[in-house]
Amino acid sequence: MAPPAYTYSINEVPGVVAANNFLSLFNPAGNLYFLVVTAVFLAPYATAGTDSTVGMSTDRITAVSGGTLVDKPTIPKLDTGTPDSTADVRYGNPTVTKTGYTFGHIPPAITGAGSGVGTTTVISAPGNGLILRPGQGLVLSTASGDADQVWNLGWAWFERWIG
């Protein structure tokens, strides 16, 4: 039987001029499961002229608080018969402690006028996935940006019992 697998995405999220943490995935301390991230999804576009070249980065984190914590029963399951996810998913600029890049920099949509669509990016983790042990996580964030940039962001992961 396959391990329980989950996805979570936020869509139509406007960019901001200041630094912002858009979406985090965190394995709480004391959890009995590894979170194994299999993919990151990003699809930027612009609603008006933009010139910010600051893209989205995926960083490892060791702490997260604030923002909006997603109710675990609302995290989509790939098999509806599996239990709720054990992950903490947050959006809305949660406070995080970053420890370094994982997947690197994904460029934004840039356009001189009107609207423009950026490149949709799906990053598959190498091997069998990027493992988040209890007390570890990931965040999708920008160092700055443009309010006319819009982001669609998401994760895919499965959970594997540590024992």
pLDDT tens digits for 104-148?
Answer: 678 887 766 656 666 677 777 777 889 999 999 999 999 998 898
Q: What is the model's pTM? A: 0.93
Q: 9 phi and psi, to 5 degrees?
A: -140, 155
Q: Count of H helices and E strands in the chain? A: 0, 12
* Lowest mean pLDDT segment, chosen from 55-64, 70-79, 99-108: 99-108
* CB contact at 8 A, 162 and 34: yes
Domain of 20, in residue numbers? 5-161
Domain count, the chain: 1
Is 122 or 99 the better-scoring residue by pLDDT?
Answer: 99
* CA separation, residue 128 to residues 36, 57, 160 (Å): 8, 21, 12
Torsion angles phi and psi, residue 17, rounded to 5: -75, -35
